[in-house]
Amino acid sequence: MEQRKHRQQVWFVTGSSRGLGRALVTAVLDAGDLVVATARRPEQLDDLVQRYGDDRVHPVALDVTDGTGAREAVDAAINRFGRIDVLVNNAGYANVSPIETTDEADFRTQFETNFWGVYNVTRAALPVLRRQGTGTVVQISSVGGRVGGSPGIASYQAAKFAVDGFSRVLAVEAAPFGVRVMVVEPSGFATDWAGSSMTVQPVPAEYEETVGLMNRRMRQSDAGTAGDPRRAAAIIVGAARRDNPPSHLLLGVNAVEMATEHSRHRLAEASRWEGVSRSADFAEPYPAPMPADEGAA
């Protein structure tokens, strides 16, 4: 079967008050499911409660950096609906500044939300999913968590790389319990991710050609807002209902093109250096000739 016979499912979504999180909560409710919508300020979801009813959407206060709070939020979900079928780790944000001049506390604080928040909520929900013998964990990452290299958002992208590594291990460990893991990797979408949610620190002149240029592209190019959050949310809902959701779901034209080009480059590089790489093992011929420097005369 391509898709499980659908029954009403219970979703647990972090970062539900705006952006993709809010679009996802709306898509879940429009699809007929139930949702525990968490946010630092759950009163921002009052309009959804009025529209869909408190029997279908249950707002819960949650700061994902608080491990105890994550466990309490999961308990609230179970007390309200009795189960969690789909866990979505969506809460996250990025501030912009070069690595050299980024305040260490800000770098760590971003990482607390973008990685440790995922850890806290996933760990809190895993006993529930294991006991149920079924469930889907959806990690909202970024194509930058696969490709990387976006100047100015090192903490954010480092956290997304960490989320991917974490999720790959989680997928293997949780598979025997019937739990699936899907990492979602969007490119630019029409949310406030690069707007009010983002603090842009002054860019030193030395980084104007990298971080400064990236800032201007994010704010002046349509590439930053090419994606429709409502379409993305509907796609995520559909993919999460499948018996075998993709391990990694790219969303957006830029995400597909960037990921494809990145994979081609990495494969070509691995092939060029294959002989040298193999020669590090005892049983392989050594030394192996180094490939010619690219661009050398």
- Catalytic residues, which ones? 141, 156, 160
Neighbours of 206 (CB within 10 A): 12
Neighbours of 1 (CB within 10 A): 7
Sign of the Cα pseudo-torsion (103, 198, 211, 294, in order): positive
CA distance 231 to 290: 48
- Letter for the amino acid at 110? Q
Non-local (6+) Cβ contacts of 123 within 8 A are 67, 70
Sheet holding 135-140, edge to edge: 57-61, 34-39, 10-13, 86-89, 135-140, 179-186, 248-251
> In three state form, how does the secondary structure of 9-32 look?
CEEEECCCCCHHHHHHHHHHHHCC
Give the Cα-Cα-Cα angle 131, 136, 139 (nearest 5 degrees). 125
CA distance 93 to 13: 15
Whose structure tokens read 């590090």?
A: 280
CA distance 91 to 186: 14
SS3 content of the chain, % helix, strand, coil (to 5): 50, 15, 35
